[in-house]
């Protein structure tokens, strides 16, 4: 009797939704932690923290998780230290990528990013190799056509836990 268990279907659907939310909450938690370490734990005097908390609230992150991230960032909750790093790279057809990362282990992260680029026929660039294209980080100076391979490369990079933002110089239809 296939398809008779409604709970099984609900459980499977809920599991995938919970996994997506968990990944988003982890990224937001790191963002809050780094914002506190850079500018203090008062959101009134730290605009980066205020923006991170607003993003967390917009994503419907539970208040307890936000408070836990604030405690961790102020040193009360323990945990490792995160650093903000930017990686630059090129897709298989010369598409530009600018990747902002929050990581506790830079060697592991650069290895993972390099592996993803290699798997899709791209390459990790040096510092400054694509940053001039994204001078205002919202509007690239030119657009290129994207292929399915490049979209898959974008998705694989964006799915990494440490990656916060991925800027590209092509249109993404997701």
The total number of structural domains in the chain stands at 2
| 16 pLDDT more than 90 | no
pLDDT attached to residue 116: 93
- Do 87 and 164 fall within a single domain? yes
Considering only residues 146 and 157, tell me which one the structure prediction assigns the higher pLDDT.
157
Is residue 88 domain-resident?
yes
pLDDT attached to residue 141: 47
Is residue 105 domain-resident?
yes
Q: CA 33 to CA 162: how far, in whole Å?
A: 13
Q: Where does residue 34 fall: left (phi above 0), alpha (psi -120 to 50 degrees), or beta otherwise?
A: alpha
CATH code, domain with 155: 3.30.70.980
Is residue 2 domain-resident?
no
pLDDT attached to residue 5: 80
Q: CA 54 to CA 172: how far, in whole Å?
A: 25
Range of the domain at 147: 83-168
Is residue 174 domain-resident?
no
Is residue 1 domain-resident?
no
- Do 62 and 112 fall within a single domain? no
- Of 54, 73, 92, the residue that ends a domain is 73
| Mean pLDDT for all residues in the chain | 83
- Of 73, 103, 123, the residue that ends a domain is 73
- Do 52 and 89 fall within a single domain? no
141, HSE (Cβ side, Cα atoms, 13 Å): 7
| 133 pLDDT more than 90 | no
- Do 64 and 91 fall within a single domain? no
CATH code, domain with 39: 1.10.10.200
Is residue 142 domain-resident?
yes
Tens-place pLDDT, residues 35-55: 888 788 888 888 888 998 999
Q: DSSP letters of 99-168?
A: EEEEES-HHHHHHHHHHHHHHTT-EEEPTTSSTTTTTTSSS-S--B---HHHHHHHHHHHTSTTEEEEEE
- Do 87 and 67 fall within a single domain? no
- Of 73, 96, 131, the residue that ends a domain is 73
Whole-model pTM above 0.75?
no
Task: Tell me if 48 sits within 8 A of 35, measured CB to CB.
Answer: yes
Is residue 62 domain-resident?
yes
Per-residue burial over 46-76, b = 16 or more CB atoms within 10 Å of its CB, e = otherwise: bebbeebbeebeeeebeeeebebbbbbbeee
Is residue 96 domain-resident?
yes
- Do 154 and 93 fall within a single domain? yes
| 169 pLDDT more than 90 | no
């Amino acid at each position: 009797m296939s398809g008779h268990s409604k709970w099984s279907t609900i459980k499977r659907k809920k599991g995938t939704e919970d996994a997506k939310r968990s990944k988003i909450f982890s990224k937001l938690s790191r963002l809050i932690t780094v914002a506190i370490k850079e500018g203090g734990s008062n959101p009134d005097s730290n605009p980066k923290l205020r923006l991170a908390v607003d993003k967390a609230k917009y994503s419907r992150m539970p208040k307890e998780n936000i408070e836990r991230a604030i405690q961790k960032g102020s040193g009360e909750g323990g945990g490792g230290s995160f650093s903000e790093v930017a990686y630059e790279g090129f897709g298989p057809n010369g598409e530009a990528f600018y990747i902002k990362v929050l990581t506790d282990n830079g060697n592991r992260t650069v290895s993972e990013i390099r592996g993803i680029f290699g798997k899709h026929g791209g390459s990790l660039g040096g510092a400054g190799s694509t940053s001039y294209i994204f001078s205002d980080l919202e509007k690239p100076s030119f657009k290129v056509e994207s292929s399915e391979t490049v979209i898959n490369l974008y998705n694989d990079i964006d799915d990494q836990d440490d990656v916060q933002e991925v800027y590209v110089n092509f249109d993404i239809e997701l």
